[in-house]
Structure 1
Amino acid sequence: MERINNAIGGREVASNSGRVAAVYNPATGEQSAELGLSSAAEVAEAIAVAKAAFPEWRDTPPLKRARMMFKFKELLTANADRIARAISKEHGKTHDDALGEVARGIEVVEYACGIPSLLKGEFARNVGPAIDSYSDRQPLGVVAGITPFNFPAMVPLWMYPISVACGNTFILKPSERDPSAVMVVYELFKEAGFPDGVLNVVHGDKEAVDVLLTHPDVKAVSFVGSTPIAEYVYSTGTAHGKRVQALGGAKNHMIVMPDADMDQAADALMGAGYGSAGERCMAVSVAVPIGEKTADKLVEKLIPRVQALKIGPATDSDAEMGPVVTEQHKRKVLGYIDQGEKEGAELLVDGRGFSLQGYENGYFVGGTLFDRVTKDMTIYKEEIFGPVLSVVRASGYEEALSLINDHEYGNGTAIFTRDGDAARAFADRIEVGMVGINVPIPVPVAYFSFGGWKRSLFGDHSIYGPEGVRFNTRLKTVTTRWPAGIKEGAVYTFPSMD
């Protein structure tokens, strides 16, 4: 049985805590590896290593850091297929979907390659008599990242490349469910020439997380996961004086206007609702057609598409959707389908009985489609994180807008329409952080930033892009005057630049 260990100070380090977690292949239900769970002392050791590596790394010129990042990007590109296979083996998503995940992670690494320009401050001459002023963005120290199972390669790459490019050292605590992709990427990070201790990986559970949230030498924490955990991470980390960005859950709606192309809208909902088995925080889980005629047309298009979904393991090149990540999560998703039916939603396509020959022990759930879902139903209010799409019929545009704005989550949303006025008004009025106009999954490119509103993001900074640089640095402003410009005598009034 393969044993997955920590990586601290450039070395593979086996945990001696005596606690382990099993890692499974979700397509077969078979255990594929064993993961050592770090003790509090082992996490503290990693923090100490990162702290010791920080001064030299902080003083490394940004151009030199960028050259290592360029090498890292080249290695990631060359090994994308290998990383994708590691993702699929433990997460279950199709190989093409995993390749897409790796590509979006590489984009952020590419953005981090521009760190010499991104860290440039501002300079103003003669802000006062013989007085100059300049600003500088400086690294924080040791930064920690806690990442989810649904994007085991991409989300870590959204965090630590920018953080270390800014001059910080980093502790990564990945998900226990699919840790192998992280370790493949770590090997490439080392091969790119980064010094030992700049990036460290500790595997663990809540015990490890709590050390990262409370240890005084960790200056900032980045988190992606469910809203209850995000809220805990934010409140605990900030209570201990840390800068925290905690990205939480979502319930993403897609409005379909009467003028939309129904085939395009249906295809968009299929990919956004069922891709990666719905295990995406940007998945569209609620379709909101405007008017009964629009709803009837949309549902008519969706039913045969959902029924025809090609579901299988990642080794099947024709598969459009794989299993969910664990047996426990499968039971949770099936429970939501049970609840939706119990509360009166119209179940048009039922994925509960799906079974794949040869993979009967895999964690597969068939594509599921509900119609006539109402906002008081559990399947509408809560994030299911599975291949379940709900159709909520709205009588008009204002009702649809209110549905989205009244929901506790505000991660992503979309509208499908040919009407430019409706699209522009939607983008202006919607209370959601990421908006798509005829784009179902509006994940920003790497040189913008990713983040929701309301209970989808705790903290003031979105992840990656310009906001990522701001989160991983702090501003210092220096005002200078040399002796020749200093007047004699003490000044007791508050300083001005007159």
Structure 2
Amino acid sequence: MRTINHFIGGRSVTGGDRIVPVYDPSVGQIQAEVALGRADLLARAVDDARAAQPAWAALNPQRRARVMFRLKELIERDMDELAHLLSREHGKVVADSRGDIQRGLDVVEFACGIPHLLKGEYSEGAGPGIDVYSMRQPLGVVAGITPFNFPAMIPLWMLAPAIACGNAFILKPSERDPSVPVRLAELAIEAGLPAGILNVVHGDKEMVDAILDHPEIKAVSFVGSSDIANYVYGRGAAAGKRVQCMGGAKNHGIVLPDADLDQAVADIIGAAYGSAGERCMALPVVTPVGESTAALLREKLVSEIARLRVGTATNPDAHYGPVVSAEHKARVEAYIAMAAAEGAEIVVDGRGFELQGHEEGYYLAPTLIDHVTADMRSYQDEIFGPVLQILRAETLEEAIGYPSRHQYGNGVAIFTRNGDYAQRFASQVEVGMVGINVPIPVPVAYHSFGGWKRSGFGDLDQYGMDGIRFYTRGKKITKRWPSGGAVVDQSFVIPTMR
């Protein structure tokens, strides 16, 4: 049985008396095991990180950037290996795993520009003989807690800017698919990163609490469910840490009567069912405006759903693979049953699907549910599976209201040819990320990712310039050099520059 170890101080480290299995969702069988660490193992990682961080921070930004460039090259070199490893533990098809890695790699590329990103500001002559300037400095030891659904992308979103800024980073990935994060740490060492700057520790809530309570960890970034995000934010902030937490989502796709319906349907199908719906930026709710739009949209969706192929993660012809675990499959099926009990219409039912030859795998066929209403719990909650709900609206204003009033505010999309409607929608909808004829509006690496309401806790978003700000703190310097002239009288009032 393959054992997935921790990675501390630049080497593989055993530790932890609680062993949990790592499954292959495509076949429903255990393929490896991972030991969950406790606070003592975290303390070891923090000690190594603290010892290594000052010298790394003292290295000039250009030299740190060279390590980022080399890491980018190594990830590209091993893309195929990483994608297959990711697919075997997560269940998403290999092509989707490559996309997972590439979106993380985009942030590594962004971090290669750290010499420019860390430049401060300078004002000459702010007062009589006085100049003022600013700089950004690393925090020290920081940590990231990442979910199962993007085991490459989200760790890279966090670790690349954190390390490039001069911090040491401790990563606690999901115990469901921990191999790729460990492999990324190994590649970082190969790229020239000093031992101790990037450490990977495996664990569950006990490890999360140890990270939140450790006094030498100055900042924590988290992505996961909203309830846990709220917990991490509260406990981390109470401990005096800087914290950013990305939570759950219930993203809507608004379809106006003038939309290019064929293109919209193609976009919605991919966004709703890609990666078996296990994306915080999936599109699980579609809101057609007007009954004629709803009828035509439903007809086209049913036709396209019939063409979808569910298969193993390694099947190049499959549109998507299994969900991550047997427990998660049961949870999604329970939400489908809940929707039916609440009075919604199950138009296409994905329950009971078995893939021939892989009957023990965690497969769900695509599900389409119509006549959903905003008071249904199946609509209010995040299902996180291959389930698409139709929530009808009569007007654009009504359609804007649904995502604006929802507890989550991660992403939203509108499909229209009308620029005025699109502009009104983008301005008025109370959601953090908006797509106009773009179904999954994840910003590029040089912008920032973050939702509103229960989708995001904290003032700074992931990656982009917000990521640089999160992993650094600003210092402002006001200076004056003595000229050898007459001594200026000491003032007992607040100084001004006049």
Structure 2-normalised TM-score? 0.99
Q: Which position in structure 1 is the counterpart of 2:296?
A: 297
The answer to whether 1:14 aligns with 2:18 is no
SS at 1:484 equivalent: coil
Q: Deviations over 1:204-244 (max 9, x none)?
A: 01111101101100000000000000000000000000000
**Which residue identity is paired with 1:85?**
H
Q: Deviations over 1:88-110 (max 9, x none)?
A: 00000011001111111110000
Q: Which position in structure 2 is the counterpart of 1:496?
A: 496
Counterpart contact for 1:129–1:485, Cα < 8 Å? no
Counterpart contact for 1:246–1:457, Cα < 8 Å? yes
Task: Write out aligned runs for 1:436-447 (5 A).
Answer: 436-447=435-446
Structure 1: state its 5+ residue gaps.
none
Structure 2: distance between partners of 1:58 and 1:237: 24
Counterpart contact for 2:84–2:314, Cα < 8 Å? no
Comparing 420-429 with 488-497, which one deviates more in the overlay?
488-497
Counterpart contact for 1:144–1:218, Cα < 8 Å? yes
Counterpart contact for 2:142–2:217, Cα < 8 Å? yes
- Percent same amino acid at aligned positions? 58
**Which residue identity is paired with 2:165?**
C
SS at 2:477 equivalent: strand
Counterpart contact for 1:272–1:440, Cα < 8 Å? yes
Q: Which position in structure 1 is the counterpart of 2:315?
A: 316
SS at 2:284 equivalent: strand
**What is the deviation of 1:37?**
0.4
SS at 2:253 equivalent: strand
Structure 1: distance between partners of 2:203 and 2:167: 22
Structure 1: distance between partners of 2:317 and 2:369: 26
Counterpart contact for 2:38–2:210, Cα < 8 Å? no
**Which residue identity is paired with 1:158?**
W
**What is the deviation of 1:308?**
2.0
SS at 2:148 equivalent: coil
Cα gap change, 1:227 to 1:485, in 2 (>3 Å): farther
Counterpart contact for 1:225–1:248, Cα < 8 Å? yes
Counterpart contact for 2:271–2:282, Cα < 8 Å? yes
Q: Which position in structure 1 is the counterpart of 2:193?
A: 194
Structure 1: distance between partners of 2:322 and 2:472: 39
Structure 2: distance between partners of 1:32 and 1:187: 21
Counterpart contact for 1:307–1:349, Cα < 8 Å? no
Task: Write out aligned runs for 1:200-349 (5 A).
Answer: 200-349=199-348
Q: Which position in structure 2 is the counterpart of 1:121?
A: 120
Structure 1: distance between partners of 2:494 and 2:484: 18
Structure 2: distance between partners of 1:497 and 1:374: 61
**What is the deviation of 1:485?**
7.0
**Which residue identity is paired with 2:122?**
F
SS at 2:210 equivalent: helix
The answer to whether 1:39 aligns with 2:47 is no
Comparing 240-249 with 304-313, which one deviates more in the overlay?
304-313
Structure 2: distance between partners of 1:86 and 1:180: 7
**What is the deviation of 1:462?**
0.4
Q: Which position in structure 2 is the counterpart of 1:56?
A: 55
Structure 1: distance between partners of 2:169 and 2:212: 14
Structure 2: distance between partners of 1:180 and 1:271: 27
Counterpart contact for 1:130–1:485, Cα < 8 Å? no
**Which residue identity is paired with 1:394?**
A
Structure 2: distance between partners of 1:186 and 1:483: 50
Structure 2: distance between partners of 1:294 and 1:187: 52
Counterpart contact for 2:253–2:283, Cα < 8 Å? yes
- After the TM superposition, which parts of structure 1 deviate over 4 Å for at least 4 consecutive aligned residues? none
**What is the deviation of 1:484?**
1.1
Comparing 328-337 with 299-308, which one deviates more in the overlay?
299-308
**What is the deviation of 1:489?**
3.1
Structure 1: distance between partners of 2:403 and 2:29: 40
Counterpart contact for 1:231–1:458, Cα < 8 Å? yes
Structure 1: distance between partners of 2:334 and 2:448: 35
Q: Deviations over 1:30-89 (max 9, x none)?
A: 101000100111111111111111111111110100011100001111111111111100
Structure 1: distance between partners of 2:185 and 2:479: 43
SS at 2:394 equivalent: coil
Q: Which position in structure 1 is the counterpart of 2:129?
A: 130
The answer to whether 1:157 aligns with 2:156 is yes
Structure 2: distance between partners of 1:336 and 1:3: 34
Q: Deviations over 1:137-194 (max 9, x none)?
A: 1100100000000000000000001000000000000000000111221111110000
Structure 1: distance between partners of 2:483 and 2:463: 44
Counterpart contact for 2:265–2:300, Cα < 8 Å? yes
Structure 2: state its 5+ residue gaps.
none
Structure 1: distance between partners of 2:260 and 2:187: 44
SS at 1:483 equivalent: coil
SS at 2:311 equivalent: coil
The answer to whether 1:142 aligns with 2:133 is no
User: Pairwise CA RMSD of aligned residues?
Assistant: 0.8
